[in-house]
Amino acid sequence: MGLYGENDKQGQYWNEQPGQSWVIHDAAMNERLQIISDILFEDLEVLECKNGLDIGCGAGSTTRRLHETLGKEGHVTGLDISGKLLGVARSHSESNGLHFLQADAQSYAFDREVFDVVISRFGVMFFENPVKAFQNIKSAIQPGREMRFVCWAPMSANDFFISPLKTVVDITGVSFAEPGREPGPLAFSDRTYLSSILQEAEFSSVNIDVVETSINTRDSVEQNAALLMEIGMGFRAIKEADPSDEILSEIRQAFINDGKKRLENGVISYDATIYRVSAMA
């Protein structure tokens, strides 16, 4: 096994340059994902949990929120493959009831049946072997308790992905195929496939709701353009195209112009579609 368990490629990705972008833009992404976080946490308090796990917790925004939701008696673990993102998470807070663990969720030897809730905001789509990963996660959940996560519906239903991508493709001519089921943000965008993975991992009561929502920011159009140059599908296409500085400026300006069209009452908005997934161990 490599340095990052059974997910060496993703481990490198999230510990090196692209992961670094998430470190720099953590606050900006939390702002953009605020509504989606609220969807993830809807009614969570009624589950009356005491021991929670946040998979692919990144810089820990949802881990901290889970800890607040569970209250003083609660224990929460944020698990992530990226030491860089966990560094940010730990700098916010770590206490008796809240701690962070660097590990590969697919191969980490969890204690069995300890957690009474597992959550994830976009942190479970990066496994080489998703069935094995979810079997491993399930082994750590008390029988009958809930795992819930949000993941992305297809790219065509997500403006935040498709719009910057189209801009980069139009300007550079780079060919960029819609990602398939390989590890990545869109790996679970086929609902039937996602359902089959969770069934195969022997979760029960699998429920996948399609939720139409939005990604919003009060950043300036310039700040928003700077973020799009470093995160998301536009960024991935820029890396692929490897354009000159002149073309990079053209792309940045196109992102700014697009931001201006989206701006209303000081807010830049993108339509987004996610799956809200719940399943019982």
Ligand X SMILES: C[S@@+](CC[C@H](N)C(=O)[O-])C[C@H]1O[C@@H](n2cnc3c(N)ncnc32)[C@H](O)[C@@H]1O
Residues in contact with ligand X by CB under 6 A are: 7, 10, 14, 29, 56-58, 61-62, 79-82, 85, 104-106, 121-123, 126-127
Nearer to ligand X, 61 or 77 (CB): 61
Question: How far apart are CB 113 and ligand X at their closest, in Å?
Answer: 20
* CA-angle at 153, arms to 118 and 215, nearest 5°: 85
Nearer to ligand X, 61 or 172 (CB): 61
Question: How far apart are CB 95 and ligand X at their closest, in Å?
Answer: 20
C-alpha–C-alpha distance, residues 164 and 222, integer Å: 14
- Are residues 130 and 151 in contact, defined by beta-carbon separation less than 8 angstroms? no
- Are residues 145 and 280 in contact, defined by beta-carbon separation less than 8 angstroms? yes
State the pairing for strand pair 115-121/263-264: unpaired
Nearer to ligand X, 129 or 199 (CB): 129
DSSP 24: H
Q: Which residues contact 46 (CB under 8 A, 6 or more apart)?
A: none
Question: How far apart are CB 4 and ligand X at their closest, in Å?
Answer: 7
Phi, psi of 230 (to 5 degrees): -125, -5
Question: How far apart are CB 8 and ligand X at their closest, in Å?
Answer: 10
Question: How far apart are CB 33 and ligand X at their closest, in Å?
Answer: 6
- Are residues 74 and 51 in contact, defined by beta-carbon separation less than 8 angstroms? yes
